[in-house]
């Protein structure tokens, strides 16, 4: 009997507790989220990223985004992510009204404050804290509102970036149809030209009767008529369609680099070139005709272009 009474009491307490939790949850949802209107990204002319020890500014000039006081070209994909995050910011819940910001990394030491500019006007301010434990939301504060909200998505990483991170690392984008390339390694030089069009090699009647496979002329040859490996040449050219560096070299200019160990020149509608210099810690310093700044590129990426000249010859063996 005593056991049944204790069970009944326990059951009653559980019911009361469940009711209390539901009531508390219901109370917490009795609030209005701020009405966040979407921002037209085409209207945004600047983004200020403010951290405790640094301020990074991006500005748009002639539809090109530039980063830092030196106005380096910015990575378009990185800027697009930031603009999409802020312009379509979606608040899903109120997280806190307590002003205890440190637990959300929204205190002055940890927060990232974003100011979106239209001309000289700040049209939105967002303070970004840490992501929620699910990484599906991020703790944020909006404009002058002291409350902390859940914003949809894990957006902190898109803004927690330095100027080197935000620079456009594409140093060459060859879109022309290349018809000639010249490779120079040390005192060796090879010029490779593209045939006007592949043509069939003449075969005898007896060969035709035997249904011999059609033989075509090489697509690429050296300027003095030697056959080269077409696939290797095409691989070099294709690697330059979107060639990206690992990092730029601060405090140096193109003129600081002389005596390259390897140079490749390509002719299409216009002429392109890339030069590599003495390797440093598994990376090559390099410059291109398409970028104003010297940079470093990983050895494996440099080797996509820095082919041994003799290895390009098709000896038929």
User: Across the chain, what does the average pLDDT equal?
Assistant: 87
pLDDT of residue 106: 97
User: Cα 70 to chain center, whole Å?
Assistant: 20
Nearest CA-CA partner of 170 in 63, 307, 265, 301: 301
pLDDT of residue 207: 52
SS3 assignment, position 296: strand
Distance, in Å, from the CA atom of 258 to the CA atom of 278, rounded to the nearest integer, reads 10
Q: What is the mean pLDDT of residues 142-152?
A: 95
Distance, in Å, from the CA atom of 12 to the CA atom of 110, rounded to the nearest integer, reads 46
pLDDT of residue 134: 86
Distance, in Å, from the CA atom of 91 to the CA atom of 76, rounded to the nearest integer, reads 26
Would the pLDDT of 3 be above 80?
no
Backbone phi and psi for residue 282, each to the nearest 5 degrees, phi listed first: 65, 15
Tell me the percentage of the chain whose pLDDT exceeds 70: 83
Q: All domains of the chain, ordered by start, with CATH?
A: 41-166 (2.60.40), 170-312 (no CATH)
Q: Which of 16-20, 112-116, 207-211 has the lowest average pLDDT?
A: 207-211
pLDDT of residue 214: 54
Q: Which residues pair with 183 in a beta bridge?
A: 190, 264
CB of 260 closer than 8 Å to CB of 277 = yes
């Amino acid at each position: 009997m005593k056991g049944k009474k204790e069970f009944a009491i326990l059951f009653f307490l559980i019911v009361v507790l469940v009711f209390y939790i539901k009531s508390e949850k219901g109370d917490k949802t009795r609030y209005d989220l701020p009405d966040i209107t979407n921002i037209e990204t085409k209207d945004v002319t600047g983004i200020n990223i403010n951290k405790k020890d640094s301020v990074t500014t991006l500005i748009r000039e002639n539809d090109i985004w530039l980063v830092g006081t030196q106005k380096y070209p910015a990575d378009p994909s990185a800027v697009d992510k930031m603009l999409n995050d802020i312009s379509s910011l979606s608040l899903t819940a109120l997280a806190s009204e307590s002003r205890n910001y440190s637990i959300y990394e929204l205190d002055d030491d940890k927060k990232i404050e974003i100011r979106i500019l239209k001309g000289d006007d700040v049209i939105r301010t967002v303070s970004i804290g840490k992501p929620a434990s699910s990484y599906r939301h991020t703790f944020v504060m909006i404009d002058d509102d002291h409350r902390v909200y859940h914003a949809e998505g894990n957006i902190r990483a898109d803004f927690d970036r330095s100027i080197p991170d935000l620079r456009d690392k594409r140093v060459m984008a060859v879109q022309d149809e290349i018809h000639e390339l010249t490779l120079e390694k040390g005192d060796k030089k090879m010029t490779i030209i593209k045939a006007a069009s592949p043509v069939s090699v003449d075969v005898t009647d007896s060969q035709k009767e035997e249904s011999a496979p059609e033989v075509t002329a090489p697509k690429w040859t050296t300027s003095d008529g030697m056959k080269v490996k077409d696939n290797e040449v095409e691989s070099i050219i294709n690697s330059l369609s979107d060639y990206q560096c690992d990092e730029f070299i601060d405090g140096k200019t193109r003129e600081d680099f002389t005596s390259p160990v390897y140079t490749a020149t390509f002719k299409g509608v216009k002429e392109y070139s890339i030069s590599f210099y003495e390797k440093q810690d598994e990376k090559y310093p390099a410059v291109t005709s398409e970028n104003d700044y010297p940079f470093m590129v990983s050895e494996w990426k440099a080797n996509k272009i820095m082919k041994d000249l003799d290895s390009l010859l098709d000896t038929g063996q």
